[in-house]
Amino acid sequence: MAKSLNIPIPLVIVAGARPNFMKVAPLMDVLSRDPDFAPILVHTGQHYDHNMSGQFFQDLGLPEAHYYLEAGSGSHAQQTAEVMKRIEPVLLEQNPAAILVVGDVNSTMAGALVAAKLGIKVIHIEAGLRSFDRTMPEEINRIVTDSVSDLFLVTEESGRVNLLREGIAPERIHFTGNLMIDSLRRNLEQALQSDIRGRLGIGHGRFGLVTMHRPANVDNDRQFAEILEALSVISSHIPLYWPMHPRILARTGKGAIPLSGQIHIVEPLGYFDFLCLQANSAMVLTDSGGIQEETTVLGVPCLTLRDNTERPATIEYGTNRLAGTRKETILEAWNQSLAHPRKGQIPPLWDGKATLRCHAALRKFLLCQSTVELQTQ
């Protein structure tokens, strides 16, 4: 490593939702041990429930956030506005060399916009992913964040291709791999020691895992009903366990959703408990981007309850299939997965070393120095 500077460079790292925590945990670890950086963790409070936030910090070994903004829930506009209002004083006080934002949640876009207007460099981890579906709030967040970013760290080849197509200079793009997979590889052995199967009474039989949170799926009554009908059919073959997002519980009320008796609703789970269930599942049905990635690395069949994905590597290399959102298409994908199971491969650079490549890219960008040879294509 190059000789330490006299004064560490302040770098604000923004996290707001549980996928963010998994991505920033390994990076916070390495930056905290680099004397040239002073990482400042800002928790926006977009996810604030203990199982959605506090338990994840504990499981991942994340330090207590330097700032907790308590932005809370609300509409997309309300939540984004709250994060913007609350993060501006933090950035003015800290005057960081750069702000690092991850993923595609409202906190990501809000932090990037405020920083850009203050003249602070914006670094986007998981840059360039595109579903090409602007009805998805996450797609808007991705596009806006990338439009004001200065450094782009991409997880898969599609991200690099999309950014080049959008006119981003090649030297600003670095193919670093996937920080979420670093967390998975680092924590899988411990997660597999979880007793969650016993606590849920699953036993040693086959089971499936369900997650849903996207507004297009859960707020559209007709679409939601189609998905539930398909899940009911699938649950006649294997029991399904569904850690239900608080927003869905709040909208419907516990017990208000008519479900098959083989669909078991459980509270949101911590990182270790969920990873243990995911690794042992016969099938995962989800609309989450991160879970498409994790199941690919775990070799677990995944049906994505969407018509598109911003993570094509999970289909090209992995175990993921697009199942759509209608009963007919979901059951067709289910039957195909049984008749023609996919072995899957690990996508390039999803090797558990993304943290090192991200660290090297940050040093190159902010210090014009490098700790390891940066791998690019």
Q: What is the pLDDT of residues 328-372, one digit of tens each?
A: 999 999 999 999 999 899 999 999 999 999 999 999 999 985 444
Asked if 120 and 300 touch (Cβ cutoff 8 Å), the reply is: no
Residue 195 and residue 115 share a domain = no
Q: Domain for residue 46, yes or no?
A: yes
Where residue 245 sits, what CATH number does that domain have? 3.40.50.2000
Rounded average pLDDT over 8-14: 97
Rounded to whole angstroms, the Cα distance separating 61 from 55 reads: 10
Residue 213 has pLDDT above 90, yes or no: no
DSSP classification of residue 33: T
Q: Among candidates 162, 160, 152, 97, which has minimal Cα distance to 132?
A: 162
pLDDT at res. 257: 63
Residue 152 and residue 35 share a domain = yes
How sure is the predictor about 5, in pLDDT bands with cuts at 50, 70 and 90?
A: low
Residue 152 and residue 27 share a domain = yes
Rounded average pLDDT over 13-19: 91
Rounded average pLDDT over 60-81: 91
* Range in 130-134, 138-142, 241-245, 308-312 with the lowest mean pLDDT: 241-245
pLDDT at res. 377: 37
Residue 203 and residue 105 share a domain = no
Provide the residue type at 300 as one letter. V
Residue 28 has pLDDT above 70, yes or no: yes
* Contacts with 18 (C-beta within 8 Å, 6 or more apart), sequence order: 47, 52, 53, 56, 271
Residue 4 has pLDDT above 90, yes or no: no
How sure is the predictor about 37, in pLDDT bands with cuts at 50, 70 and 90?
A: very high
Residue 271 and residue 241 share a domain = yes
Q: Among candidates 68, 69, 67, 64, which has minimal Cα distance to 32?
A: 64
How sure is the predictor about 219, in pLDDT bands with cuts at 50, 70 and 90?
A: confident
Q: Domain for residue 298, yes or no?
A: yes
- What phi and psi values does residue 166 have, to the nearest 5 degrees? -85, 5
Q: Which two tokens stand for residue 237?
A: 């073959």
Residue 51 has pLDDT above 80, yes or no: no
Q: If you write DSSP's letter for every residue of 187-240 in order, what string do you get?
A: HHHHHTT--HHHHHT-TTS--EEEE---HHHHT-HHHHHHHHHHHHHHTTTS-E
Residue 50 has pLDDT above 50, yes or no: no
Residue 40 and residue 126 share a domain = yes
Per residue in 104-123, pLDDT (tens digit) is 999 999 999 999 999 999 99
Exposure string for 64-93, b = 16+ CB within 10 A, e = fewer? ebebebebeeeeeeebbebbbebbbebbee
SS3 for 102?
strand
pLDDT at res. 338: 95
Residue 169 has pLDDT above 60, yes or no: yes
Total domain count, the chain: 2
pLDDT at res. 369: 57
Exposure string for 331-355, b = 16+ CB within 10 A, e = fewer? bebbeebeeeebebeebbbbbbbbb
Residue 263 and residue 129 share a domain = no
Task: Tell me the three-class secondary structure of 333-350, residue by residue.
Answer: HHHHHHHCCCCCCCCCCC
pLDDT at res. 263: 92
Q: Which residue has the tokens 């609703």?
A: 265
How sure is the predictor about 284, in pLDDT bands with cuts at 50, 70 and 90?
A: very high
Residue 170 and residue 27 share a domain = yes
* Range in 170-174, 244-248, 255-259, 341-345 with the lowest mean pLDDT: 255-259
pLDDT at res. 87: 98
Residue 207 and residue 156 share a domain = no
Asked if 282 and 302 touch (Cβ cutoff 8 Å), the reply is: no
Q: Domain for residue 377, yes or no?
A: no
Q: Among candidates 299, 267, 270, which has minimal Cα distance to 181?
A: 299
Residue 309 and residue 192 share a domain = yes
* Contacts with 88 (C-beta within 8 Å, 6 or more apart), sequence order: 114, 118
CA-CA distances (angstroms) from residue 97 to 84, 177, 260, 273, 275? 18, 24, 53, 37, 35
Q: Domain for residue 192, yes or no?
A: yes
C-beta atoms surrounding 356 within 10 Å? 19
Rounded to whole angstroms, the Cα distance separating 86 from 113 reads: 13
Query: Annotated catalytic residue: which of 50, 66, 213, 237?
Result: 213
Rounded to whole angstroms, the Cα distance separating 99 from 120 reads: 7
Does residue 237 carry a catalytic annotation? Answer: no
Residue 255 and residue 142 share a domain = no
Q: Domain for residue 344, yes or no?
A: no
Domain encompassing residue 125:
9-177+350-367
Residue 175 has pLDDT above 60, yes or no: yes
Residue 363 and residue 312 share a domain = no
Rounded to whole angstroms, the Cα distance separating 186 from 200 reads: 25
pLDDT at res. 72: 79
Q: Domain for residue 373, yes or no?
A: no
Q: Domain for residue 182, yes or no?
A: no
Q: Domain for residue 106, yes or no?
A: yes
How sure is the predictor about 375, in pLDDT bands with cuts at 50, 70 and 90?
A: very low
* Range in 18-22, 149-153, 173-177 with the lowest mean pLDDT: 18-22
In the chain, pLDDT over 90 holds for what percent of residues?
79
* Range in 54-58, 187-191, 197-201, 282-286 with the lowest mean pLDDT: 54-58
Average pLDDT, the chain: 91
How sure is the predictor about 255, in pLDDT bands with cuts at 50, 70 and 90?
A: low
Q: Among candidates 90, 299, 253, 270, which has minimal Cα distance to 194?
A: 270
E strands in 81-185: 98-102, 121-125, 151-154, 173-175
Question: Whole-model pTM?
Answer: 0.92
* Range in 143-157, 251-265, 311-325 with the lowest mean pLDDT: 251-265
